[in-house]
Amino acid sequence: MAEDAAAASAKRKVTFWIFAFVGGMFGTAFFLKTTAIVPQPWSMAVLIAPMLLLIPLVRAAEAMQRQTGCASAAAVRYNRRILFASFLYVIGLGGALMLFRDSQVSKPVAALLSLMPTLPVFGIIWAMGRYIIEESDEYLRARTVNAALVATGLLLAIATFWGFLTTFGVAPDVPMWAAVPVWCFGLGIGQFVGKVRGT
């Protein structure tokens, strides 16, 4: 009974930090866009503050994994790698936008700037691949693979539908970098569905 209460408490903490992180990111972005207190591109640096909420979110997730018996050394390494790559992504994106907008740059330099936020995304993909390889628990590995399949299916479906909308002139073009946030959103849905179904 005490273990169930501790697991429920750990889940509530994770839920709180998820909402805090998402609310902090979107709230800060909306505030910066509507008030223009911090001029572009320097406002990107302000987004590092809500990114710090990832630290207690990861810690709460690790505590929940320990409480529910889903903790493993591979999962801890995965969480730390994702956290590190996520911070590098925000810093790389902000740096690339600042350098690109503050001066006229040639196409080769612009191509190099595009690598600043792209390389951390490669790090995120690598971290997921390493987790699947390193995870010795078959159940945890299968759950992660299932969530990744849901994310990939969702991304393919949305990209195809949106592609036809743009072809028929119904919707505007969306930058291709949007694929990664959509996939990550789908990964969250896949993990949620897996937990609800108990698979």
> Is residue 186 one of the residues assigned to a domain?
no
Give CA separation, 35 vs 27, 32, 40, 41, 54, in Å. Answer: 12, 6, 12, 14, 25
pLDDT in tens, the chain (199 residues): 566 777 778 888 888 998 998 899 889 888 888 887 877 667 777 878 888 888 898 888 888 888 877 778 898 899 899 989 988 988 888 888 778 775 677 888 888 889 999 999 999 999 999 999 999 999 889 999 999 999 999 999 999 999 999 999 999 999 898 898 899 899 989 988 887 787 5
pTM over 0.85: no
Answer whether residue 150 is part of any domain: no
Do 89 and 117 meet the contact criterion of CB atoms below 8 Å apart? yes
Is 45 contained in some domain? Answer: yes
Number of structural domains in the chain: 1
Amino acid at residue number 88: L
Q: 67: domain range?
A: 1-71
